[in-house]
Amino acid sequence: MTQYTEPRPIRNEDEVSLLDIIRFFRLNWKFLGLITLVLSSAAVTLSLSKPQTYQKQLTLSIELSPQSVLSASIPTMTKDEVGLRVVTFLQKQKLDQVTAVPTYNASTQQIDLTLQSPNPSTLAGVSSKVTSQVNAYLQKQLDRSIKNSLKGATQQLNRYQKIVNRLEQQIKQLPVPTGKTPEALRAEVRLRSLEAQRAELINSMTTQEVDEEYLEQALRNPAQFSDQIMSVQVLTESEVRQTRSLLQVMVLAVIASFMVAVLAAILRVQVPRLKYELSQEKIDKSPEN
């Protein structure tokens, strides 16, 4: 048990000088060294007993075709929308012994992906698996959009056709304008208006038929079409490396252990002092004094 010796009085008890700090370490260096050695050895041993983890960093770029290449019937997404959807997909996706931590960088419009696994060989070829799964997911999303667009295009064509048929019936029912009578002039104006509406609708039908054919071709070859519209590719790829090294573990263990040792040394010095001060207060308050 360490015996407390009352220190010399100082002017300000709250003031700690550099000399006090040096004296503290000089008097307690053996205790600090022993505690630091014991705790850091235990921490390093515990850390090394856990399975080693390896990681790999990927940067994924989002490729989108220009709007002019796409059919007007297909709703398009921005890079930000695609990036956020891919991040959500990767967060839910389970790769073989691989943990994926994706984040979308809005400033670069790229996806930063951290892959971790206890098996380094698993990470060696994981980049191609990631891009394949992501592109398959985007293809599925695009296929769904194409099917909905094709359904809408077919409905619109049927609607145009019904309107055209109705206009043609109205045109047939109009009397053939002859002469310059007011009735003939009104019939001619009506006829030209109906024919203009029919021509405009037929033109719209032609455009819609082109879109419908484009969508049907996309559904017949979805993989090739999807790659042309939007895809995710590996921009940069790091080497497989350990998540922790022995040197890093030792340095962190020594720093943390030394801080704990300093705290223990402070308590080791202060506890006898507190006991001494409490005993002195009891003596001062005793009836004899």
Q: What is the pLDDT of residues 208-251, one digit of tens each?
A: 888 888 788 877 877 777 777 788 889 998 888 877 666 777 88
Q: What is the pLDDT of residues 136-184, one digit of tens each?
A: 888 888 888 888 888 888 888 899 999 999 988 888 887 776 767 777 7
Residue 41 CA, chain-centre distance (Å), reads 38
CA dihedral 232, 236, 242, 244 (to 10 degrees): -100
The helix-helix angle for 222-229 and 126-173 (nearest 10°) equals 100
Ordered by start, the domain boundaries in the chain are 54-242
Separation between Cα atoms, residue 119 and residue 53, nearest integer Å: 7
**pLDDT score for 11:** 46
Secondary-structure class of domain 54-242 per CATH: alpha beta
Q: Nearest to residue 24, comparing CAs of 15, 32, 34, 35?
A: 32
Q: Are 80 and 96 in contact (CB under 8 A)?
A: no
User: 78: part of which helix (H) or strand (E)?
Assistant: none
Separation between Cα atoms, residue 87 and residue 111, nearest integer Å: 8
Q: Nearest to residue 84, comparing CAs of 111, 57, 49?
A: 111
pTM of this structure: 0.57
Q: What is the pLDDT of residues 172-191, one digit of tens each?
A: 887 776 767 777 788 788 88
